[in-house]
A and B are shown apart, each in its own frame.
Chain A
Amino acid sequence: MAEIPITATVQLLKRTVPSPIGRVAGGLAVVAKRTVAIAAFLVLWEVAPRIGLVDRTFLVPFSEAVKALIELAEDGQLWDNTRASLVRSLSGFLIAIGAGVPLGLLIGWYRPVSEILGPLLELFRNTAALALLPVFILLLGIGETSKIAIVVYACTWPILLNTISAVRTVDPVLIKSARSMSLPPHRLFAKVILPASLPTVFTGIRLAGASSILVLVAAEMVGAKAGLGYLVNASQQNFAIPDMYAAIIAIAVVGLIFNHLLVLLERRLTRWRPAAGS
């Protein structure tokens, strides 16, 4: 008699799984929906300079920017500058994860500490990292150190603050249930707090990933001899306008790929969650 609810659920689950054909068609519809706005934007970019809506000298058509990008790729400039930027942003990003996650877990676990430090961390987070760039340059010089340091600074706050709130917002019932099994604190931490925090921690990591590139590009525009930000700035100063747009496209692509990789990693680590939208 008690089996009735189970069979009912099984049938319900079966019914909501679409057929393979339906899935492919649905997938195509999703792809179309997601690319239509980008395609329209690129068409506008291509057409507007050509029909004289904007000055072609300052806004070259998309196809010319792509041509410049291919040329830059061929003579190796693109890779050299991208590599310089990636090394800086990835090292800053990884240092920030290495410092922010353990520190955040610690601060979040000790409630009084998080209550005392909270306002200060909030202040740091809301101080635009770039406003501090002159300070970093004064203290650390104009070389790699100051650039990596500013990336570390910009990435640390979202990771730290998200980790703290992740630990603090773990469902109290899960903690109560684990405590009722007399799980010792270190195992409670490893088996409950840590996995329960992971999704929110990852939100912070993704935010940090976006700002690592953002802040770095700006820093490279101020003082650098290589990097994508440098390439944008130098091209503009040399009036190589197609190159400038090529570098901007490269920055956008790097940012997209970086974010996409983080999303994939996040999905892998939190596979147990219900798929978004379902």
Chain B
Amino acid sequence: MAGTHTAEKIRIEAVSKTFDVRGGGTFTALDDVTLDVAPGEFLVVVGPSGCGKSTLLDLISGLTKPSSGRILLDGETVAGPALDRGIVFQQYALLPWRTAQRNVEFALEAQPRLDRLSRRSRAERAREYLDLVGLSGFQDRFPHELSGGMRQRVAIARALVAGPAVLLMDEPFAALDAQTRDGLQEELLRIWHKTGTTVVFITHGIDEAVYLGQRVAVMTSRPGRIKQVVDVRLGDRDAREDVRSSSEFAAYRHQVWSLLREEVTAVREVVSVG
């Protein structure tokens, strides 16, 4: 089963996903999606709500299987979930009875028995990743003692601690206030530079997509398809002051906005006709 195309980290090949609807019939969440993600790339998928973005992430993570088509990771078909893909959910998904550090350790405890680190190395490694996400000194806090932004930092540390090649993020900053979100976006880019992980980031925020993504895949809704992939060439975000107010940023923002706007209008027409 040698991969025909091993240059890509993730290859999504003509993938469709349909669900059975209660009371008969089917619902097509994703229709013929083809997308490649290069190793170390930061890809953002942006689309209107209900366009199947999260379905796409579930498929890459291996939690669900495509109805047709296939998903390759390093040229191998994805068979199921594994720790080589770390996931960050919008709702943090931290275990409330574990401290920040123990939550990060959780991903290491999930490793197969043979690869599992000793208790002490797990603790050390967890501490290292809490440092990476800027939470040194907060390791003994329980999730309810942390702010939303800090909880999501813990979740990012947990997703990265097992050293995954791919980081999957499902609208991770959607529940945070604007200021915290901006801060975390910067942090995420810093962490991405440092770890070299391939990132697939799902969002419905246009600014977020343009700020973070090297490429932004715009999705259509019902059924979900890839409408266009926009190359964002803003260079190193750290190199310049306030990238978000530059004219290039505005141009990219407008381009993505226009692509999405057509979608929203299309949906509205369908709704008013039907």
- Residue from A5, A174, A179 in contact with B63 in the complex, judged by beta carbons closer than 8 Å: A179
> Do B97 and A174 have beta carbons less than 8 Å apart?
no
Interface residue B50 (Cβ < 8 Å from any Cβ of A): no
Known contacts being A182-B80, A195-B97, is A173 close to B179, with CB within 8 Å? Answer: no
> Do A177 and B83 have beta carbons less than 8 Å apart?
no
> Do A1 and B134 have beta carbons less than 8 Å apart?
no
Closest-by-CB residue of A relative to B84 is: A182
- Which residues of the other chain, A, contact B93 by a CB distance below 8 angstroms? 171, 173-174, 176-177
- Residue from A4, A176, A187 in contact with B89 in the complex, judged by beta carbons closer than 8 Å: A176
Known contacts being A178-B110, A191-B109, is A173 close to B91, with CB within 8 Å? Answer: yes
Question: How many A-B contacts at CB < 8 Å in the complex?
Answer: 77
Interface residue A270 (Cβ < 8 Å from any Cβ of B): yes
Interface residue A40 (Cβ < 8 Å from any Cβ of B): no
> Do A9 and B150 have beta carbons less than 8 Å apart?
yes
- Residue from B61, B98, B183 in contact with A5 in the complex, judged by beta carbons closer than 8 Å: B183
- Which residues of the other chain, B, contact A182 by a CB distance below 8 angstroms? 80-83, 110
Interface residue B129 (Cβ < 8 Å from any Cβ of A): no
Known contacts being A180-B87, A182-B81, A272-B142, is A5 close to B107, with CB within 8 Å? Answer: no
Query: Which of the listed residues A13, A179, A198 has the most CB atoms from chain B within 10 Å of its own CB?
Result: A179
Contact digits for A162-178, partner B, Cβ 8 Å, 1 yes 0 no: 00000000010110111
A238 to chain B, nearest CB (A): 53
Closest-by-CB residue of A relative to B190 is: A2
Interface residue B126 (Cβ < 8 Å from any Cβ of A): no
> Do B149 and A192 have beta carbons less than 8 Å apart?
no
Query: Please, how many angstroms separate the alpha-carbon atoms of A178 and B184 in the complex?
Result: 24
Query: Please, how many angstroms separate the alpha-carbon atoms of A127 and B135 in the complex?
Result: 54
- Which residues of the other chain, B, contact A177 by a CB distance below 8 angstroms? 87, 89, 93
> Do A2 and B144 have beta carbons less than 8 Å apart?
no
Interface residue A51 (Cβ < 8 Å from any Cβ of B): no
Count of interface residues, chain A, beta-carbon cutoff 8 Å: 29
> Do B180 and A180 have beta carbons less than 8 Å apart?
no
Closest-by-CB residue of A relative to B107 is: A181
Query: Please, how many angstroms separate the alpha-carbon atoms of A191 and B106 in the complex?
Result: 9
> Do A4 and B107 have beta carbons less than 8 Å apart?
no
- Which residues of the other chain, A, contact B8 by a CB distance below 8 angstroms? none
> Do A192 and B95 have beta carbons less than 8 Å apart?
yes
- Which residues of the other chain, B, contact A173 by a CB distance below 8 angstroms? 89, 91, 93
A67 to chain B, nearest CB (A): 49
Interface residue A25 (Cβ < 8 Å from any Cβ of B): no
Interface residue A274 (Cβ < 8 Å from any Cβ of B): yes
> Do B134 and A6 have beta carbons less than 8 Å apart?
yes
- Residue from A9, A178, A192 in contact with B147 in the complex, judged by beta carbons closer than 8 Å: A9
Interface residue A15 (Cβ < 8 Å from any Cβ of B): no
Query: Please, how many angstroms separate the alpha-carbon atoms of A177 and B186 in the complex?
Result: 25
- Residue from A3, A6, A176, A272 in contact with B97 in the complex, judged by beta carbons closer than 8 Å: A272
- Which residues of the other chain, A, contact B85 by a CB distance below 8 angstroms? 180
Interface residue A14 (Cβ < 8 Å from any Cβ of B): no
- Residue from A9, A171, A176, A272 in contact with B98 in the complex, judged by beta carbons closer than 8 Å: A272
- Residue from A4, A171, A179, A270 in contact with B183 in the complex, judged by beta carbons closer than 8 Å: A4
Query: Please, how many angstroms separate the alpha-carbon atoms of A274 and B144 in the complex?
Result: 7
Query: Please, how many angstroms separate the alpha-carbon atoms of A211 and B80 in the complex?
Result: 47
Interface residue A183 (Cβ < 8 Å from any Cβ of B): yes
Contact digits for B54-75, partner A, Cβ 8 Å, 1 yes 0 no: 0000000111000000000000
Interface residue A34 (Cβ < 8 Å from any Cβ of B): no
- Which residues of the other chain, B, contact A181 by a CB distance below 8 angstroms? 81, 83, 106-107, 110, 162
Which residues of B are in contact with A by a Cβ distance under 8 Å? Answer: 61-63, 80-83, 85, 87, 89, 91, 93, 95-98, 106-107, 109-110, 134, 142, 144-147, 149-150, 162, 179-180, 183-184, 186-187
Q: List 20 A-B contacts (CB under 8 A).
A: A1-B186, A2-B183, A5-B179, A5-B180, A9-B146, A9-B150, A13-B145, A171-B93, A180-B63, A180-B81, A180-B87, A181-B81, A181-B106, A181-B110, A181-B162, A182-B80, A191-B109, A196-B95, A270-B97, A273-B97
Which residues of A are in contact with B by a Cβ distance under 8 Å? Answer: 1-6, 9, 13, 171, 173-174, 176-183, 187, 191-192, 195-196, 198, 270, 272-274
A6-B150, A9-B146 given. 20 additional CB < 8 A pairs? A1-B186, A2-B184, A2-B186, A13-B145, A173-B89, A174-B93, A174-B95, A178-B110, A179-B81, A180-B61, A180-B85, A181-B81, A181-B107, A181-B162, A182-B110, A191-B109, A195-B95, A272-B97, A272-B144, A274-B144
